[in-house]
Chain A
């Protein structure tokens, strides 16, 4: 099937099998390997991207379903704001909110969405809002800190 969509600000067009998942399309067809696959049950959230501005797990969307829509990945996040990094990216670095970095793209994309909906979350709201993203390195301590730090810095 032919699809046309916008990914990280660029119009793209491809022929894809209907069974191809959005995450596979991003990685294999577009080379957007910043978005990664961590599980096969939609638990881990590592593949989180924005579809028309809200966070989704890109393993749980077919590429054909993204036709005509706008996708933002971790690779396109910084282009939408002034400077090199999105404030949430900056916060994750500042607060050591990552170690191996595999869950990080999904964490950051979800955190951006969370702060868009709730610009001043409490620690508990951050913890609940990030429950769809698994991390094995940080114990979440500094991830939560990063999101709160970004909120304090007016990231949303």
Chain B
């Protein structure tokens, strides 16, 4: 019994080492691919090499005859039992949504799409036989790239008649949240400044380290699916909704999941095929993708063209922002699909008091890998655009980039503040975060060094990039989601169970895959309930254990799931109070609760929560009017988003001879409200930063003109290593502006680093060479792009043609554009 243990010092705010780690550092892990069941069969997928083709015929005879092959199945072998991949967020009522079969029988719409599945006794034999499946294709013209898609001359899905899926519009003058942006732009053309830019959000690949894997066990009364997913609950719902199996017969388990970053926020063809095969054969099956398969078929992220007009007066006070996005959905409208760019709609005005705003988002279909959430999802794109524009405005006005921000941001006295996009920011202190970041970064000294290097024409120039960001996180108030036509709510569920021995089981509907929920949630419960940290066990990721939940994405787990937990704990204490009053023979009004004990005011009498738990186990003595349990559960639906913010400062060195860029220093000061575990928070920020930096400098998914993914392995899709990155200064404001709409005062942090860092880096790179006539460099800022930008005007970077005097006319690498990496 733990009843007599001292309650530990306050857990919230403590840098607890993680409970999760013991297993992970000793290899005692349960990744989906580790699961082996008796009689388990293995799947190998046959994928289309063509981006767009009719399937003329599939000959499976040779494959069926191969050693230990149990079955070879195609789309034609399944009817409706295969189900469908769903889009949960049709962003407009008239959205064009092509049907999406997990394994189409007649036509493929991107290279990598599955056309047949081989089932064999071993993974090796399945792979061997997959090579024997003979598929005949009638190749069709493929449309790649946003601009081609908009022309509608080649169609990704000819039956739809267009590549344009949906147009979503927000206008502040129509919404009553602000003025008319066209009028603002007209005015600025006359007597102010108009900055007009087109920015490219390149296509990215989430590239979680654990390749996706799925195991389905159809034996037993419930069908069980283990999947490397972020969303076991949504997955279960979608399986039920599309395959006709009652939800109550489905158990989905997300065991140890090796990262997601939005990339495992999906219901996938591979899961649906494994489900159908297991049901058909009545045997457990497993499918684990290779990295190459993952890169080509797991959804991609970003991929937008942003057309932007920023209007300001002569002093740089912004009067309006107009945004037109074209967003590439890929071949299908994925689970969240066009909702991703729409999430950005509310963030382009960022931390600023823009008086007028218009946002349009046109989604298009192409014959490429589908796109969906990637860390930040909509908000990094918005932040990038506005923070790049603010730097351009500062350059135009001729003031420091921080000055232009100060002229436009919401001051800390102005909260709560209703923005031009219609959100109510409850709290924030941009001045404080900026001041602290500036100081630790050594802003003034670096600016001085920059000036010296410029003056002496140093080969290596220094640039300083600023990004002052906010984001909306904690997805999401269910009514807001409803108003946006999203197919589900944004609530979260938790339950707290007191075991007979005094241990506490906490069940959460969130589904961690590296975030450290077991540790952070234990800290919350330990404090709130007054029990030892070690006595709290957090259960999640199994729909039979956590029957209600909406999973983990959008920086929601702590701010929504944690709040549900707080409410459940409070209910436990309420129930326990009734029992304590009975056992202590005291009025409930005379009981105080603290440190895990009820005490009778003015006496030395008391009883510990663990003793009460035991009392409900024995049931020997409890009030007549009490149900024999102090367990409780709660569902929490947030009333608002929360709005973490921060100031990120980055110093980049640019080698003007080669175009190579090197990070010199990165300092960020994030205001994320109250912090549960600073160690975990710092880790989230570090990882987020590098993903955002990687967008700025290294990563890009490129399809060639035929629709083949050129960056189809880690040899070509460039993830940074430890040797490419630096150590960061991660700070928080000393007196955070706490979130006012949840009990813990917390704000989301999972995506902050990614959202803020990309523009900070690109602003720094551009700043380093702005004096050489550069005002933009397309992401990723490859050495070649930087070099060409620097020398675009001075003749030192000759056009590719004139630089190739030694080339034979017919040399294969004569195409000067082939290496530009733009891809689309």
Contact = CB atoms under 8 A, between A and B. Distances in A.
Interface of A: 17, 19-20, 27, 32-41, 43-44, 46, 73-75, 77-78, 85, 89, 92-94, 96, 98-105, 108, 123, 126-128, 130-145
A135 B290 CA distance: 17
A100 B20 CA distance: 9
A127 B21 contact: no
B27 A100 contact: no
Given A38-B211, A138-B687, A96 B17 contact: yes
B259 A128 contact: no
Interface residues of B, number: 55
B727 A75 contact: no
B210 A133 contact: no
Contacts of A128: 722-723
Contacts of A34: 26-29
Contacts of B21: 92-93, 98, 101
Contact of B721 (A41, A102, A133): A133
- Across the A-B interface, the 4 shortest Cβ-Cβ residue pairs: A34-B27, A100-B514, A101-B24, A102-B258
B291 A135 contact: no
Contacts of B124: 17, 19-20
B516 interface: yes
Given A44-B291, A136-B207, A139-B688, A101 B514 contact: yes
10 contacts: A17-B124, A38-B209, A96-B17, A96-B680, A96-B682, A101-B258, A136-B259, A136-B719, A137-B687, A139-B687
B135 to A, nearest CB: 22
A102 B209 contact: yes
B18 A93 contact: yes
Given A39-B714, A108-B25, A142-B686, A103 B721 contact: no
A63 B50 CA distance: 35
Contact of A101 (B256, B291, B689): B256
Contacts of A92: 21, 25
A141 B211 contact: no
A73 B725 CA distance: 28
Main secondary structure of the interface of A (DSSP, over half): loop
Contacts of B679: 96
Contacts of B687: 99, 136-139
Contact of B290 (A20, A40, A123): A40
Contacts of A74: 25-27
A46 B26 contact: no
B97 interface: no
A139 B725 contact: yes
A41 to B, nearest CB: 5
B614 interface: no
Interface string B336-372: 0000000000000000000000000000000000000
Interface string B703-724: 0000000000111000111110
Contacts of B713: 39-41, 43
A133 B20 CA distance: 21
Given A38-B291, A131-B722, A46 B683 contact: no
A36 B31 contact: yes
Interface string B76-114: 000000000000000000000000000000000000000
Contact of A33 (B29, B258, B690): B29
B408 interface: no
B25 A85 contact: yes
A66 B516 CA distance: 37
B653 to A, nearest CB: 16
Given A100-B208, A141-B728, 9 more contacts: A34-B28, A43-B713, A74-B27, A75-B27, A101-B23, A102-B31, A126-B722, A132-B721, A136-B207
B254 to A, nearest CB: 12
Given A34-B26, A40-B713, A75-B26, A46 B688 contact: no
Contacts of B721: 127, 130-134, 140
A144 to B, nearest CB: 6
Contact of A41 (B29, B209, B714): B714
Interface string B204-240: 0001111100000000000000000000000000000
B722 A104 contact: no
A130 B690 CA distance: 16
Given A73-B27, A105-B27, A130-B721, A136 B209 contact: yes
Given A33-B34, A34-B27, A101-B514, A141 B292 contact: no
A92 B17 CA distance: 10
B13 to A, nearest CB: 16
B719 A41 contact: no
Contacts of B727: 123, 141, 144-145
A133 B720 CA distance: 10
Interface string B1-35: 00000000000000001101111111111010110
A140 B690 contact: yes
Given A33-B31, A101-B21, A138 B714 contact: no
Contacts of B723: 127-128, 130-131
B258 A139 contact: no
Contacts of B409: none
- Most chain-B CB neighbours within 10 Å: which of A43, A133, A145? A43
A140 B753 CA distance: 14
Nearest to B23: A101
Contacts of B689: 139
B722 A144 contact: yes
B728 to A, nearest CB: 6
Interface string B742-755: 00000000000100
- With most chain A CB atoms within 10 A of its CB, the pick from B124, B680, B728 is B124
Contacts of B306: none
A54 B650 CA distance: 38
B201 interface: no
A141 B725 CA distance: 8
Contacts of B27: 32-35, 73-75, 105
A137 B26 contact: no
Contacts of A143: 722
A33 B255 CA distance: 14
Contacts of B291: 38-41, 44
Contacts of A40: 290-292, 713
